[in-house]
Chains A and B, each alone.
Chain A
């Protein structure tokens, strides 16, 4: 009798222990991955686009500033992406926010522009996630996860590579050397029917500007002859571009937007200027196609 009671008692105690242990420890059957070989491809590898298929290019925006000492590391990541995916990515360095403000020598340059500041404010980058940070095709806005740090750029870019595009952009610049004005037209040819509304932004970027940059990976950290690449110089059609369509578009529809007489700042090196156009969803801000050509 005593033994039976003892068994019952044991069962009474053991049952809840067993059940609760099983219930709670169900979460514990977890593994860990140990990586012995950190890399799977060599730098400079990448993929080749499929011939005769229009693929989606990727806009990689790098929000930076000349007094942001950790920002050159992000610029290197951008360059790595270009080495990996060549012209399938379009880089744009947006100098905006506190670390881009002109300051005491040698940081007297002002690489800011209205479009960059407007984007930085709207997407909450320098006042949100801070610098350095960026966006990949402006994906994941407005959930708060649209801001991507440079270690993540490759992983965020790779799913877009070789993805069939919905639209093809063709940029035709016409630069008047004597008047220093730019006429540019951008043709959006829709490959598939689309129902959302889209906007076209056309911007100017400049390469190979030499100036001062802080770089905390160097000692001394002030680099006076730093080479700034892909610097956003301004919006040709404002900060947010123009609506391309206000109703659904059919496959093979083409819409051309033209801009004339855009004055080029004479301080810019006209041989280093590029025109970048991108088409984005007016509601989600996601960029569905981007193209870049040299201005001259």
Chain B
């Protein structure tokens, strides 16, 4: 009896315990499967008019951009959204961002066989020649697609994507319907038993993206359906990588191409080899009439469906990035070569820690175009030959050296020689009347790390070029930049920056642009406050230009994530 009782007690105890354990485990599993993530960003500025630098009076006094994003995941299901607020949008950004609202919301259910998203999504086919939907918050660039996307990996080595929807345009959607299909085959994975262990890996892909937009034009017969086809290959073997893609677009008269009915095409090739202490990269591309937007009348950065990869270096220092270059969608041929190597330790140049060297040259030209003028309708057509190179748009040759001298001292030094065809790159016309800008740029960045999380950093930069007396605001000559940054510990930083336009041909515009900043970072939270002046500029894409006025005032930036 006693035994029996004990047995029952044990059984009940076991059941109770197992029930508790199951519940705990179940809860634990649920916790592991469910997660909520989000981020928040606020940028605001209090503006003061400053006639010396041309900072205008801002009636609202303070302008701000704010973003809040949240995503919830439970197992195979996820959902999320983003709220944006522009009250009113900060200077320098497109004023069509006005007001607030939920601009992105989605639900996704993901299995290997079918991964389905409804709502807003971002996507890229290949290198983006046919489609790339992405967000770049610093530019307020967001061409997300609001629609349906299906991704499938039916068997190992094959990925199929299909999508349809309309693109975000400020607080609404654009008029054109985007439809796309992409297939990618990883040959080694597909024939795993035969090729799985081979050193050479091959991935083949192809995509088609079409758009539909109604034609209401009373004069022109505009194609309502426009498509882009592309094929691509990626081959790797050890440190060697070769990627190439070709895309072709049928007639797509648009604002960007001045209503040209010429077909478009794009070719992109990137190859690299990397081994210990050495890497080489070679890239080339040819673009002809490849602007592809879901609204044929869109301009600037609005409603782009595809992305034309840059084959020029995107600098991060202020002065080398002063005249930035972007791919010219109407026609460009160009490329980039880069070598990176490490000077060995304990050599004369390398010293105790070695030295990293990067040498880069990139160049972009227009196509050699033969023009035909349509006098009846004021349009310009052209034909362009493969291999024929037109006028130069841009070049950048730079050498960057990174060297650590001791545990406490390190340095980055950069020299760059740049050529910038302002007429074509910004205004899309040889007749815009600006001189080409030839510049020499030097950067010296020295860090003294006096404790494990404490450092002082000094940055000196100079941009040396001629000022254009006819356009002292836009082509403003040489600049000197100095920045001192103190990081007393891992949480705080204090920095002062001065940009001095000492080479401006107009003595009244030889101004200092001082900016002081202080910031605090803890975990995923960052707050920074700046006070000072920012210079003016002109933002142009495809012949449409917007002035970005100078500003003077107090800025606050808060970012956090969870």
Contact = CB atoms under 8 A, between A and B. Distances in A.
A binds B: yes
A116 to B, nearest CB: 16
Interface string A124-155: 11111111110000000011110111111011
B160 interface: yes
Contacts, number: 229
Nearest to B113: A16
Interface residues of B, number: 78
B544 A132 contact: yes
A30 interface: yes
A232 B95 CA distance: 22
Nearest to A77: B378
Contacts of A152: 255, 296-297
A135 B223 CA distance: 24
User: Residue among B113, B216, B546, B549 with the most chain A CB within 10 A?
Assistant: B546
Contacts of B179: 27-28, 30
Given A38-B261, A154-B218, A32 B250 contact: yes
Interface in B89-133: 91, 94-99, 113-114
A149 B255 contact: yes
Contacts of A39: 219-221, 377
B431 A218 contact: yes
A99 B179 CA distance: 39
Contacts of B299: 129-130, 133, 149
A185 interface: no
Contacts of A32: 210, 223, 225-227, 250
Contacts of B296: 151-152
B547 A144 contact: no
A19 B150 CA distance: 12
A20 B160 contact: yes
A222 B163 CA distance: 48
User: Residue among B95, B218, B225 with the most chain A CB within 10 A?
Assistant: B218
Contact of A129 (B94, B161, B433): B94
B217 interface: yes
B147 to A, nearest CB: 10
Given A38-B221, A151-B254, A221-B429, A27 B163 contact: yes
Given A27-B179, A38-B261, A76-B378, A142 B163 contact: no
Interface in A152-206: 152, 154-159
B222 interface: yes
A246 interface: no
Contact of B181 (A24, A35, A37, A41): A24
A37 to B, nearest CB: 6
B215 interface: yes
A157 B297 CA distance: 14
Given A21-B154, A84-B219, A216 B429 contact: yes
Nearest to B228: A32
B152 A129 contact: no
Contacts of A151: 254-255, 258-259, 296-297
B430 A38 contact: no
Contacts of A68: 545
B155 interface: yes
Interface in A5-47: 13, 16-17, 19-21, 23-28, 30-35, 37-43
A274 interface: no
User: Residue among A30, A31, A159, A216 with the most chain B CB within 10 A?
Assistant: A30
Interface string A88-117: 000000000111000010000000000000
Given A32-B210, A99-B547, A70 B427 contact: yes
A20 B181 contact: no
A28 B250 contact: no
A219 interface: yes
B544 A70 contact: yes
A20 B221 contact: no
B545 A99 contact: yes
A158 B219 CA distance: 10
A47 B255 CA distance: 25
Contacts of B218: 40-41, 84, 154-155, 157-158
A21 B255 contact: no
Interface string B208-236: 10100001111111111111000000000
B223 A33 contact: yes
B546 A34 contact: no
A84 B430 CA distance: 31
A70 B221 CA distance: 24
A296 B104 CA distance: 54
Given A143-B170, A155-B217, A130 B300 contact: yes
A73 interface: yes
B171 interface: yes
B470 interface: yes
Given A124-B95, A129-B299, A24 B376 contact: no
B298 to A, nearest CB: 8
Given A30-B208, A143-B171, A145-B172, 5 more contacts: A25-B183, A73-B378, A124-B96, A129-B302, A151-B254
Interface of B: 91, 94-99, 113-114, 150-152, 154-155, 158, 160-164, 169-172, 174-175, 179-181, 183, 208, 210, 215-227, 250-251, 253-255, 258-259, 261, 296-297, 299-300, 302, 376-378, 427-433, 470, 538-540, 543-547, 549
